């Protein structure tokens, strides 16, 4: 499916109310809803996504002759907040047609992983096969670089630090379905304890019958595995949580029994596509059923205001694949990864040699960090295993890491988890100017050094908010800080990603002088990634990373 390229919209997305322009962030007039597009050609298959003011949504389908009149009628209704196309999304995997030696270099890279054009047979597991998921192809000859030792997430040290974890965490995998019967995925799934499997009754009254491990929003059923079209989600599930130390297959990144994965199928068919309405329903289901971290390994070029609103209003932390076009997301955005949200991490695809894969999207402002995503060995359907390459493979690494950090630091907020992962990313010269942090995921460092930031969610920690504002036609950054003990000693900011340790040096960053009400207006410093820090006399601190 050919994706439509729309203009990048950052903090203030301009939409169209019938005949007039209106800001999406603003409450529309009572007699007029917001219509994202008045052009019938934008409504593929005549599908119109209607978002009501009570938070519910519906998809209506119209013929070519009816559509214009329907849009005009919707625009006049005061019970509707937004009308837009039911956009289509596709997964962000690159198919791999060759089988290679089975090393999970992403977890521990000793430099021995190599690729050759002829291929190396995988001898440890005869079930290993190549996957046909996705719209891209990767040739072995074009990826013949040698591995570099240490280009990994530091799994061995991380597992030692993590132990069994502390807090229960549910991950929502919003993707294709998954082969939940795969032997290597036993024990990794979230279980709805209030639902009795297979009795055909909605036991918990949540509107979904037999939703034991999640829900299939693509087909509207509890069946999470429908065949090989679910390879993509099965691969992501295994990368996150495949059973370890069971003598077979592969090991997922997460450890212990505290972290479980909820499978929410929104993508399907030969090309692995899905619609806005399904994704929004899946987000709402995840929130209602206890998920705190959400993996989104799909993307599209269209700005989708309904999806943006659902993510912005969600308490969950989202991890999104940056995309596989080999382009700069700051210039040609890929959604949802390019949304400027404080509860979102955008992930690029790091290869085993420490460079970004040629197909990975970049973005010194809009892409946060890189994670292993090239030739990742994981589970696929039919109790098999396969390598896949793409930002779809990189995102689950960060999702798993976020869940482990959230479980390990059981007093931390999800906002703090995001800050921990970004501030402990390991800098690589090869990533400078390509991502906001210029670094790769380092789970070991996050668990080893994240304690100070994790404490920012405590009752004694100072609070800090940062937001762009416009006054008198001039752009500023508004900073607001407060402290429960009233003993703030320093607020500062810096371009790039500074750690809390660096900010404790009084010479680091630019000092911010607060007014009596705890606010300050900083002249617009220019677009880019920035770090803001507030410290109190007791040594408590909060660091916030923003993209302006």
Q: What burial letters (b/e) apply to 447-477, b meaning 16+ CB within 10 Å?
A: bebbebbbbbbeeebbebebeeeeeeeeebb
Phi-psi category of residue 119: left, alpha or beta, with phi > 0 → left and psi -120 to 50 → alpha: left
- Given the residues 175, 184, 210, 483, the one annotated as active site: 175
Predicted local confidence at residue 276, as pLDDT: 94
Predicted local confidence at residue 258, as pLDDT: 97
CB 444 within 8 A of CB 157: yes
Instruction: DSSP letter for 245, please.
Output: S
Q: Which two tokens stand for residue 347?
A: 């992930």
In whole angstroms, give the CA distance from residue 90 to residue 28: 31
Say whether 42 is catalytic: no
Nearest to 261 by CA among 396, 131, 154: 396
Nearest to 336 by CA among 374, 375, 307, 357: 307
CB 392 within 8 A of CB 146: no
Which residues touch 74 (CB under 8 Å, ≥6 apart)? 33, 35, 48, 50, 80, 83
Nearest to 216 by CA among 181, 173, 259: 173
pLDDT single digits (tens) 467-505 = 777 777 788 888 988 887 888 999 999 998 777 778 888
Predicted local confidence at residue 97, as pLDDT: 28
In whole angstroms, give the CA distance from residue 387 to residue 133: 11
Say whether 442 is catalytic: no
User: Which of 177 and 457 is assigned the larger pLDDT?
Assistant: 177
In whole angstroms, give the CA distance from residue 122 to residue 529: 42
Mean pLDDT of 518-541: 87
Residue 265, helix vs strand vs coil: strand
How remote is the C-alpha of 331 from its chain's centroid?
Answer: 20
- Quick check: 406 pLDDT over 90? yes
Cis peptide before 336 (omega within 30 of 0): yes
Least confident of 30-34, 68-72, 144-148, 373-377: 30-34
Tell me how far apart the 2 most distant CA atoms of the chain are, in Å.
69
Phi-psi category of residue 310: left, alpha or beta, with phi > 0 → left and psi -120 to 50 → alpha: alpha
Mean pLDDT of 383-391: 89
- Given the residues 232, 235, 258, 303, the one annotated as active site: 232
Predicted local confidence at residue 103, as pLDDT: 67
User: Which of 535 and 465 is assigned the larger pLDDT?
Assistant: 535
* Predicted confidence band of residue 27 (pLDDT cuts 50, 70, 90): very low
CA dihedral 4, 7, 8, 11 (to 10 degrees): -120
- Quick check: 17 pLDDT over 90? no
CA dihedral 440, 441, 446, 447 (to 10 degrees): -140
- Given the residues 392, 423, 456, 531, the one annotated as active site: 392
Q: Which two tokens stand for residue 78?
A: 């005061």
Mean pLDDT of 438-442: 95
User: Which of 466 and 44 is assigned the larger pLDDT?
Assistant: 44
* Predicted confidence band of residue 419 (pLDDT cuts 50, 70, 90): confident
Q: 10 Å Cβ neighbour count for 347?
A: 34
In whole angstroms, give the CA distance from residue 400 to residue 526: 33
CB 221 within 8 A of CB 230: no
CB 173 within 8 A of CB 295: yes
Q: Which two tokens stand for residue 499?
A: 């750690």
How remote is the C-alpha of 380 from its chain's centroid?
Answer: 21
Mean pLDDT of 104-124: 61
CB 325 within 8 A of CB 136: no
Say whether 232 is catalytic: yes
Nearest to 420 by CA among 430, 438, 434, 406: 406
- Quick check: 216 pLDDT over 90? yes
Predicted local confidence at residue 102, as pLDDT: 41
How remote is the C-alpha of 92 from its chain's centroid?
Answer: 12
Predicted local confidence at residue 88, as pLDDT: 83
Q: How confident is the prediction for the chain on average, in pLDDT?
A: 82
Mean pLDDT of 135-157: 64
Nearest to 320 by CA among 343, 346, 341, 302: 346
Instruction: List Cα–Cα distances, 122 to 103, 127, 185, 377, in angstroms.
Output: 10, 9, 21, 11
Q: Which domains does the chain have, with CATH numbers?
A: 14-86 (no CATH), 91-455 (3.40.50.200), 459-547 (2.60.40.760)
- Quick check: 87 pLDDT over 70? yes
Mean pLDDT of 377-400: 92
Least confident of 30-39, 112-121, 444-453: 112-121
Model's pTM, two decimal places? Answer: 0.74
Predicted local confidence at residue 331, as pLDDT: 95
* Predicted confidence band of residue 431 (pLDDT cuts 50, 70, 90): very high
Predicted local confidence at residue 461, as pLDDT: 72
Predicted local confidence at residue 145, as pLDDT: 65
Predicted local confidence at residue 38, as pLDDT: 86
* Predicted confidence band of residue 274 (pLDDT cuts 50, 70, 90): very high
Count Cα atoms within 13 angstroms, Cβ side, for 457. Answer: 16
Query: What is the spatial order of strands in the sheet that 510-511 belongs to?
Result: 510-511, 488-495, 529-536, 541-547
User: Which of 489 and 97 is assigned the larger pLDDT?
Assistant: 489
Q: Using CB atoms within 10 A of its CB, is residue 182 exposed (0-12), middle (13-18) or buried (19+)?
A: buried
Predicted local confidence at residue 286, as pLDDT: 98
CB 71 within 8 A of CB 83: yes
How remote is the C-alpha of 11 from its chain's centroid?
Answer: 18
Mean pLDDT of 202-211: 96
Predicted local confidence at residue 452, as pLDDT: 66
CB 51 within 8 A of CB 309: yes
**DSSP string for residues in 20-87:** EEEETTSPPPTT--EES---GGGSGGGEEEEEETTS-EEEEE--HHHHHHHHHHHHT-TTEEEEEE--
Predicted local confidence at residue 115, as pLDDT: 60
Share of the chain above pLDDT 70, in %: 84
Instruction: DSSP letter for 42, please.
Output: G
Residue with tokens 């996050």: 446
């Amino acid at each position: 499916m050919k994706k439509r390229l729309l203009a990048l919209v950052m903090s203030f997305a301009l939409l169209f109310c019938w005949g007039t322009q209106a800001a999406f962030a603003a409450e529309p007039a009572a007699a007029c809803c917001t219509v994202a597009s008045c052009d019938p050609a934008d409504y593929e298959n005549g599908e119109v996504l209607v978002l009501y003011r009570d938070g519910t949504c519906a998809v209506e389908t119209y013929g070519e002759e009816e559509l214009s009149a329907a849009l005009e009628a919707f625009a006049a209704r005061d019970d509707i907040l937004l009308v837009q196309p039911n956009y289509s999304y596709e997964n962000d995997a690159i198919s791999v047609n060759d089988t290679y030696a089975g090393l999970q270099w992403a977890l521990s890279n000793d430099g021995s992983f190599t690729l050759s054009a002829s291929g190396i047979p995988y001898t440890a597991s005869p079930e290993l096969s190549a996957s046909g998921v996705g719209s891209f192809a990767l040739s072995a000859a074009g990826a013949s670089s040698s591995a570099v030792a240490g280009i990994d997430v530091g799994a061995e040290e991380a597992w030692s630090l993590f132990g069994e974890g502390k807090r229960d965490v549910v991950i929502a995998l919003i993707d294709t379905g998954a082969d939940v019967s795969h032997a290597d995925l036993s024990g990794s799934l979230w279980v709805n304890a209030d639902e009795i499997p297979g009795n055909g009754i909605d036991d918990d009254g949540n509107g979904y019958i037999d939703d034991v491990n999640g829900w299939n929003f693509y087909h509207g059923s509890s069946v999470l595995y429908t065949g090989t079209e679910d390879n993509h989600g099965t691969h992501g599930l295994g990368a996150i949580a495949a059973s370890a130390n069971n003598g077979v297959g592969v090991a997922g990144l997460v450890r212990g029994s505290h972290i479980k994965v909820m499978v929410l199928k929104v993508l399907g068919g030969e090309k692995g596509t899905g619609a806005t309405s399904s994704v929004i329903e899946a987000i709402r289901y995840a929130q209602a059923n206890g998920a705190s971290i959400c993996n989104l390994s799909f993307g599209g070029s269209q700005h989708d205001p309904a999806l943006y609103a659902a993510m912005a209003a969600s308490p969950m932390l989202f991890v999104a694949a940056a995309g596989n076009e080999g382009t700069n997301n700051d210039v040609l955005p890929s959604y949802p990864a390019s949304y400027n949200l404080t509860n979102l991490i955008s992930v690029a695809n790091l290869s085993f040699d420490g460079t970004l894969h040629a197909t990975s999207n970049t973005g010194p402002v809009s892409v946060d960090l890189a994670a292993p995503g090239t030739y990742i060995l994981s589970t696929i359907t039919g109790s098999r295993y396969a390598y896949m390459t793409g930002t779809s493979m990189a995102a689950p690494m960060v999702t798993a890491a976020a869940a482990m950090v959230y479980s390990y630091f059981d007093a931390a907020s999800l906002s703090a988890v995001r800050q921990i992962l970004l501030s402990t990313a390991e800098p690589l010269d090869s990533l400078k100017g390509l991502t906001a942090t210029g670094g790769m995921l380092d789970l070991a460092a996050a668990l080893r050094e994240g304690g100070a930031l994790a404490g920012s969610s405590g009752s004694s920690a100072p609070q800090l908010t940062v937001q762009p504002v416009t006054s008198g036609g001039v752009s500023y950054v508004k900073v607001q800080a407060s402290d429960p003990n009233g003993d703030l000693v320093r607020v500062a900011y810096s371009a790039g990603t500074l750690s809390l340790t660096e900010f404790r040096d009084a010479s680091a960053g630019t000092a911010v002088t607060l007014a009596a009400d705890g606010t300050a207006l900083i002249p617009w410093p220019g677009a880019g990634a920035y770090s803001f820090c507030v410290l109190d006399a007791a040594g408590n601190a909060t660091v916030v990373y923003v993209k302006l």
